[in-house]
Amino acid sequence: MRVVGYIDGMNFYEASKYKHWYPAGWCNWTETIGVYCPGAAVSVKYFTSLYTGTDQKIVRRQKLHLLAMKEVAKARIFEGSCRQRPLKCPRCDEKLRCVCGCTKRTDEKMTDVNIAVQLLGDAIDGLFERAYLVSSDVDLLPAVWAALARAPKSQIHVLLPPETVMVEEFANLKRDYPDRSKSEYLDLGKMRRFPDDLPRRWNMRLPEHWKKESGKRPDNPEHQANSPRPERVAS
């Protein structure tokens, strides 16, 4: 069976950020999708946006993750863009300031359209027999419906990040397209991580808060990484 995974990277990241399963983000999505469909020929398309700030630690972390996705998972990377917009009152259009002092917000652009175009185009071209869409974004539903309509022999399964909201339209896929589509939550037990020592291949290191048992993402990962470790006491 030919299987393609469409991974909404930013959607998964935002869903996981303050959850105990945050380290699941160091995920080999090709192997993970393979667990859902054993024996299939799996390829992955990974959608994200590049960080546009000046913090080089964040730049290095994203570079590491995309290297692993490209070189090890053999995923094709699709990059959207991040755009900064001023915070404004929806009534009077007056500029606002967040409690943290921020006056701008960052919006991700082009990712939804990139996923929709790839999913629909691949379905029409017959490039998959089954697709797995990893996202909880309701904006992608029209693309799912269109792909199922234009490729009547294809299947599309939606895998939502744990602890996100499954809207009624996602829940109804199995009823509306029996034996062809369904929605379920990602099973953390089926997710396959990259090895923690993989970054050594590129003379890099795995961030402490990405390690398997590290728990939810800290508010300040750099502070956590720089904190002195307790000394070991010989028994």
**pLDDT digits 0-9 by tens, 134-171:** 999 999 999 999 999 999 999 999 999 999 999 999 99
Q: What is the pLDDT of residue 83?
A: 45
Tokens of 73: 């998972």
pTM: 0.85
The edge-to-edge listing of strands for the beta sheet with 41-49 is 104-109, 76-86, 41-49, 2-8, 130-134, 155-160, 181-185
Query: How sure is the predictor about 219, in pLDDT bands with cuts at 50, 70 and 90?
Result: confident
Write the CB contacts of 38 (distance below 8 Å, at least 6 apart in sequence). none
Work out the percent of the chain whose per-residue pLDDT is above 90: 71
Q: What is the pLDDT of residue 51?
A: 83
Query: What's the CA gap between 173 and 167, in Å, rounded?
Result: 11
Look at residue 38 and tell me whether its pLDDT is greater than 70: yes
Residues forming a β-bridge with 156: 131, 181
Kindly report the length of the chain. 235
Tokens of 161: 């990040």
